[in-house]
Copies of this chain bind each other. A is one copy, B any other.
């Protein structure tokens, strides 16, 4: 039940923005194993002076960063996270984003931190999420 925030340049065309959102979601489905229907994303376009980033920190040559911040339930093993980063960067190439410009950060929380509608805490009822080693 990840919530994905994507902050990117408003100069990227609408179709490209959608392709970026699609690519992030497909990576989550393919790597973490979340259901295809588990898609919740907020895309925010920004003017050039609103997205600040270093052009070469840690030897990555950035030109037009796409920020992807994913809030998700804790418990995914490190290998899955590392594979997720690789897959997102690969998928976003098809959406016209250089791998250097893909910035991803995860924020992990608990099963009872989610309500996906109707005022219910669906994950508590389910008792588990895809890909997690231990239930948090």
* Chain A residues within 8 Å of B, Cβ to Cβ: 1, 3, 7, 14, 17-18, 21, 35, 37-46, 49-54, 56-58, 60, 62, 65, 67, 69, 71, 78, 81-82, 85-90, 99-110, 112-122, 124
A89 to B121, alpha carbons, bound, how many Å?
A: 12
Select from chain B the residue with minimum beta-carbon distance to A113: B106
Task: Tell me if B49 and A14 are in contact (CB < 8 A).
Answer: yes
Task: Tell me if B40 and A119 are in contact (CB < 8 A).
Answer: no
Label chain A's interface by main secondary structure: mixed
Task: Tell me if A119 and B99 are in contact (CB < 8 A).
Answer: yes
Interfacial chain B residues near A110, Cβ < 8 Å: 108
Query: Would A85 and B119 be within 8 Å (CB), given that A14-B49, A107-B71 are in contact?
Result: yes
Task: Choose among B67, B86, B87, B112 the residue that contacts A3 (Cβ–Cβ < 8 A).
Answer: B67
A4 to B11, alpha carbons, bound, how many Å?
A: 22
A sample of 25 inter-chain contacts (CB < 8 A) reads A3-B103, A35-B57, A37-B54, A37-B57, A37-B58, A40-B53, A40-B65, A40-B103, A41-B51, A42-B51, A43-B46, A43-B49, A43-B52, A44-B46, A78-B124, A81-B112, A81-B113, A86-B120, A88-B115, A89-B115, A103-B117, A105-B113, A106-B114, A108-B110, A108-B113
